[in-house]
Amino acid sequence: MHQFNKMTSIELQEFLTRQKNSTSFIFTMIHSDETIEEITLKNDSESDTFLKAHSEATFELKEASELI
């Protein structure tokens, strides 16, 4: 499986801090029990708190969108 867009929660936190606040990213979140959930995150404190609470998950980037 190609894992180019897969990140841990720590890698994702670092990635988001380098992004504009107006850009939203859709990720597939893969939990440690292999369940999958689709989430939207961006460079804000809410996303940071969410990622800290889900430190065991892996995230795969699906889409990015810029608010114009």
CA distance 26 to 47: 12
* pLDDT score at 60: 95
Mean pLDDT along residues 25-32:
95
Instruction: Please report, for residues 12, 19, 33, 58, the alpha-carbon distance to residue 63 in angstroms, rounded to integers and kept in the order given.
Output: 14, 14, 24, 16
The residues spanned by each domain of the chain are 6-66
Mean pLDDT along residues 50-58:
96
Write down the pTM of the prediction. 0.86
Q: What percent of the chain has pLDDT over 90?
A: 87
CA distance 63 to 45: 20
